[in-house]
Chain A
Amino acid sequence: MQALKISLGLNLALIAAIVFVGLDRRANQTAPVVGPVPVSAAPTTAPPPLEPPPMLETRTEPEPFRWQQLESRTDYRKYIANLRAAGCPESTIEDIVRGDTDRAFAWERQQLALDGSGEGPWSEYRETQLAASLLGEPMMTSSTVASSGETQNAETASGSAGDQLTADQYAKSYPLFLQNVNWSALGFSADDQAAIAQVRQQFQKELNVLNQNAGNPTGQNFTPTSQTSGSANANSGNPTSSSPWQTALQDADQQLSDSLGSQEYAAYEQQQYYAWFQPQAQANVGGGVLNINPGAFALK
């Protein structure tokens, strides 16, 4: 039993190390373009393709904020702790962690032509174990993981809260204006794109203030940077509370709506939803009924 525990620990450490190698390697590669939204026979307004969430280009910004200020290339757990300290909602942290592990494992599975079944080092079971470990959640048994799809369906149908493995949690939650969206393909003019860049810059400034206050080990009592903030208390463990992170996002959305105008913002909103939905649909291929919770897409 002791040997098994040691083995499990070493395996997890190995997987964590490989995840970082994988993430680092991809960070140095040209980002792959996610598959385009096909245009069907009849005319539609399907959103054009997204590029994956990138690192922010901040070198030319007057007050640059870098994700690297939160990231740690040698200690992923420290990165998670930094996010928590910065007031990032727990649900967003979960999305980031599960998204990162999912991308790393999916990349390796693709390289090795594995389907993710079983309990091998690149299996979905190991991936789930690693994400749970990084998030400090109880470890699940392989049988629990295997039956999670059925459990999820049954719970959703009966109206209870979703479990820890809902497909929503695999969705990326980066705000769209921070991503390298093909704005031109969306029909945004140069002026619109300049307005979006301005909103991005303002958001970075707000986060910069947030980051300066991140030394507070409790991650609480940040000074609000917006007039619209409803509370000075940023309870990072409660995704429903109004943290500076969320306040900055709400402010950015409002600025986008005001700057772009209703039609362009509608297109932006459509793209935002698609970026949230697409990974869930792709993760469900061959998985039976796809469960979507529109309430989790809280754009408002």
Chain B
Amino acid sequence: MKISKKITAALLALGLISQAKAADPVVYLTGSSAFRSTIEACLADNSGDTNAIFAAGSVTYETWGNAAAGSASYMVFHGTNNGTGVYINCAWSGSEAGIASACNTTLANTDRNGHSLALSGSPETWVNATNSSLTLTASGVVNSGSPAAGIMETSSHGADLTQADTSQAVSWTPFVAATSTALKDYGSEGVVTFTWEKNIQPAPSNEWTHVTNITLPQINTLLSVGSCPAGFITGNAADDDFEIYLVGRNLGSGTRMNVEATSTYGAHKTVHQYSIGYGCGDPGDPAQEPTVLVLTNEANNGYESGGSVAKALNDTGHSTTSGSCQQADPNGVANGTVGWFALGYIAPSDALSTGNADVVPPSTNNWVTVDGALSDDGNIENGSWWLWGHEHLYGKYQISGVQDTIGNSIFTAVSNYLLANYGSVAGAHDPGLPYALMNVVKGVGNTSDTAFPSF
């Protein structure tokens, strides 16, 4: 390597200069919030190895929406790919919203009062990657707040690429030939994992403590009706004085799609869910701040991201001494009115992100087993845990050029990253797993989104 190139690489690595050019093409990537931490790791990889998407020393980036870069809602990366400078502009709105965005489709959603509202991210309003106010550095500038309006693009549009936690076959926007929904499937990079957890309690009640496991039929009932007495889960009638409420995602979510599809509840059926805090972030709702415990019936609606579900489940009303177990059930549906708690479905990376904590650090102590198994790498690999999906990368209809090139690079890098970094540790809770470590399949050739694991 010539000395000048070495100097340039060093300066780039230090973030002292940037190769970013306004004229460089922008590739728009959206989709799975459950898998964004994995994608972020590959995009931020400055080594140029097989797990990296960009060339060595060429990566600079900035993120918004979370204190942890891997949990950010918006990310802008710039680097060199196949000798060309390119921006990869990410907005993580959920797998289903992502598929819809790549299909140039708007999915209608309904708020808690039955009023229509557009589902966020389909299509997305993106950060303006070439805005001069952005500060892209090699170590990454991480903004916990949302991007300012001044750095956003002026209009919304569809994505070039999207990560999805299920195949398009069970999607709200399935493949129809010769239409904008005819996405290119680069393939499945690996397994995407999920878990179930209770909301955090500084002072757990006996009822909360007794709920350590939930069965598949109980999950289906909870999805359908939204709440149940704790005794329905524990089998102990003495626990019926507490009601359990379901907390989850909106229609744009691949996590929700996985829960509905893999439980055979029905991929396209309505569910009944609740929010904790101040609603689930729809227009008119205040910003989500876990300072007050407010339980709200959201009907078929839910949270926009896994990070928001994590915040809700970590909400103690900002108290270190009491939580929902000490708060009267606002709906008064349980036999008693002493307290209540919640169960939610979520990606492990969001569940364990300390950036989502209120005052009690999240841990697997709040997780519940399903049919006797805990969500961890070993149980997923051996088939004991069934709530997992196939992580797909899709490209928009007739994708070509640099967008297609980047699609191929992402697919290869992420597949390699999973193999090199995830799985094979029995008690670990990785967000993804490589197929090479899986001892079970879902359907012949891992083709099913609804089958239970089999050997």
Task: Tell me the A residues contacting B by CB distance below 8 Å.
Answer: 35-38, 40-47, 153, 156-157, 159-162, 262-263, 265-267, 269-270, 272-274, 277-278, 281-282, 284-285, 288-295, 297-300
The answer to whether A299 touches B268, judged by C-beta atoms less than 8 angstroms apart, is: yes
The answer to whether B170 touches A289, judged by C-beta atoms less than 8 angstroms apart, is: no
For chain B, the count of residues having a C-beta within 8 Å of the partner chain is: 53
Contacts A159-B115, A266-B450; A46 near B174 (Cβ below 8 A): yes
The answer to whether A285 touches B179, judged by C-beta atoms less than 8 angstroms apart, is: yes
Q: With a CB–CB cut-off of 8 A, which chain A residues contact B269?
A: 269, 299-300
The answer to whether B450 touches A35, judged by C-beta atoms less than 8 angstroms apart, is: no
Complex alpha-carbon distance, A288 and B105, angstroms: 9
Which residue of B107, B447, B452 contacts A292 across the interface (Cβ within 8 Å)? B107
Say how far A196's CB is from chain B's closest CB, in angstroms. Answer: 17
The answer to whether B181 touches A281, judged by C-beta atoms less than 8 angstroms apart, is: yes
The answer to whether A42 touches B392, judged by C-beta atoms less than 8 angstroms apart, is: yes
The answer to whether B105 touches A294, judged by C-beta atoms less than 8 angstroms apart, is: no
Among B32-40, B182-190, B422-430, the stretch in contact with A? B182-190
Complex alpha-carbon distance, A293 and B172, angstroms: 9
> Do most interface residues of chain B lie in helix, strand or loop, or is the interface mixed?
loop
Which residue of B108, B182, B451 contacts A156 across the interface (Cβ within 8 Å)? B108
Complex alpha-carbon distance, A277 and B174, angstroms: 8
Tell me if B149 is interfacial: C-beta within 8 Å of chain A: no
Complex alpha-carbon distance, A295 and B104, angstroms: 19
The answer to whether B108 touches A295, judged by C-beta atoms less than 8 angstroms apart, is: yes
Complex alpha-carbon distance, A272 and B170, angstroms: 11
Complex alpha-carbon distance, A161 and B115, angstroms: 8
Which residue of A157, A162, A262, A273 contacts B264 across the interface (Cβ within 8 Å)? A262
Q: With a CB–CB cut-off of 8 A, which chain A residues contact B177?
A: 35-38
Complex alpha-carbon distance, A33 and B370, angstroms: 43
Q: With a CB–CB cut-off of 8 A, which chain A residues contact B409?
A: none
The answer to whether A45 touches B105, judged by C-beta atoms less than 8 angstroms apart, is: no
Which residue of B104, B174, B270, B452 contacts A289 across the interface (Cβ within 8 Å)? B104
The answer to whether A289 touches B123, judged by C-beta atoms less than 8 angstroms apart, is: yes
Q: With a CB–CB cut-off of 8 A, which chain B residues contact A263?
A: 264, 450-452
Contacts A263-B450, A266-B261; A40 near B185 (Cβ below 8 A): yes
Q: With a CB–CB cut-off of 8 A, which chain B residues contact A272?
A: 268
Q: With a CB–CB cut-off of 8 A, which chain A residues contact B123?
A: 289
Complex alpha-carbon distance, A162 and B115, angstroms: 12
As a 0/1 sequence over residues 390 to 418 of chain B, the CB contacts with chain A under 8 angstroms (1 = contact) are: 00100000000000000000000000000
The residue of chain A having its C-beta at the shortest distance from the C-beta of B107 within the complex is A292
Sample of 18 A–B contacts (CB below 8 Å): A37-B175, A41-B186, A42-B187, A44-B169, A46-B168, A47-B174, A156-B118, A162-B116, A263-B264, A263-B452, A266-B261, A277-B172, A277-B174, A285-B178, A289-B104, A290-B181, A298-B270, A300-B269
